[in-house]
Amino acid sequence: MILHPFPYQLYLVMSEADCKGRNFLHVAEQAILGGVDVIQLREKNTDTASFLTKARQLKEITDQYSVPLIINDNISVAEQVNAAGIHVGNSDAAPVDLRQQTLLREKIIGYSIEYLSQLDNEQTAVSDYLGISPVFRTDTKTDTITEWGLDGIATIRQLTEKPLVAIGNIHHGNAREVINAGADCLAVVSAICNAPDPQKAAYQLKNEILK
């Protein structure tokens, strides 16, 4: 069951810190111009007030380009900025509970998969897409369990019809392989946020997806 369509192909996950001192709003806009379809703001190490301020600033840009803004694991921020959706993992709010909240009931809900057993649970059933995290180990997210690899993506693809968003050390050099393994969408952090030219980096990634 897919509750909301998730047709996006290139997904930027970012925080202000990920941009290494550059203006994160500028990085986001350049990424959109290069081909990013959806952006998730992930501010794990800041308070809600600061997170909300950044989300409001970013949403002005995403709205300008009609790009959905996803908020990582902060219900209050997601509701207050009227985000397109929210993304959660195993230790975050449960998708089943999110679906019962009036302001989030009709929003996109993404759910990170770290075990194959999660494919059969009720959280996956009510989610709109599954984050396959990480495909390859990465320094930007160290609290994960499984390194899926290309074989892991292929296995998950055979077990579910849910859109699969692959994340974890994905870059221009391996993007096509990840898509070929069964991912519907590529999510990146460093490959765009750390790139000398975020617009060019996004463009190159999108071209790999569309080959």
| Separation in Å, CA 78 to CA 134, 176, 193, 196, 200 | 24, 32, 22, 30, 29
Nearest to 77 by CA among 42, 29, 124: 42
| Residue 18 labelled as part of a binding site | no
| Residue 40 labelled as part of a binding site | yes
| Residue 190 labelled as part of a binding site | yes
| Residue 50 labelled as part of a binding site | no
| Residue 76 labelled as part of a binding site | no
| Residue 139 labelled as part of a binding site | yes
| Residue 124 labelled as part of a binding site | no
| Residue 112 labelled as part of a binding site | yes
- Residue 23 burial (CB count, 10 A): 11
Report d(CA 134, CA 42) in Å as an integer. 16
Report d(CA 136, CA 33) in Å as an integer. 27
| Residue 43 labelled as part of a binding site | yes
Q: Residues forming the annotated binding site?
A: 40-44, 72-73, 92, 112, 138-141, 189-190
Binding residues for Mg(2+): 73, 92
